[in-house]
């Protein structure tokens, strides 16, 4: 799956997801942080699911109705825990994410908001 990893994560998360067979780009490679709206727009334009820790993206998508290509929000976890949980989400909810779902995941639960 095509992913854009928000710069709230390290490049290491993108490397782990790439090694698992995903096309994972890291927002930090795009230069200085352009802000949430621009990152969301870049992900949408490239057809990439945004992977973030930042709850503000949910507000942009749900309340402000900004276009998106799907989102995974991983609640505060280590990079390795985030990678493991993200891979689980990608396996279980690939079809939902392809249909632009928002997935919020933490160790105890995964919630899916479908379009």
Instruction: Give domain limits for the chain.
Output: 2-113
pLDDT tens track, the chain, 115 positions: 999 999 999 999 999 999 999 999 999 998 888 899 999 999 999 999 999 999 999 999 999 999 999 999 998 888 889 999 999 999 999 999 999 999 999 989 999 999 7
CB atoms within 10 A of CB 29: 10
Q: What is the DSSP letter of 112?
A: E
pLDDT for the residue numbered 20: 97
Q: 68, 40 in Cβ contact below 8 A?
A: yes
Beta bridge mates, 3: 24, 49
Q: What is the pLDDT of residue 34?
A: 86
Report the alpha-carbon distance of residue 7 to residue 97 in Å, rounded.
20
**Through-space distance between the first and last CA atoms of the chain, rounded to whole angstroms:** 18
Residues 107, 18: Cα–Cα separation, whole Å: 22
Q: Helical H runs in the chain? A: 11-19, 36-45, 56-62, 79-92, 94-98
Using CA atoms, how far apart are residues 48 and 43, in angstroms rounded to an integer? 5
Q: What is the pTM of this model?
A: 0.95
């Amino acid at each position: 799956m095509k992913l854009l990893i928000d710069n709230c994560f390290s490049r290491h998360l993108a490397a782990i997801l790439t090694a698992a067979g995903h096309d994972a780009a890291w927002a930090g490679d795009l230069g200085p942080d352009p802000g949430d709206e621009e990152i969301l727009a870049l992900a949408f334009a490239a057809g990439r699911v945004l992977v973030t820790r930042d709850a503000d993206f949910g507000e942009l998508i749900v309340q402000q109705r900004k276009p998106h290509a799907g989102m995974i929000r991983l609640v505060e976890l280590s990079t390795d825990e985030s990678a493991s949980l993200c891979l689980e989400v990608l396996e279980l909810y690939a079809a939902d994410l392809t249909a632009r779902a928002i997935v919020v995941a933490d160790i105890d639960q995964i919630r899916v908001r479908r379009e």
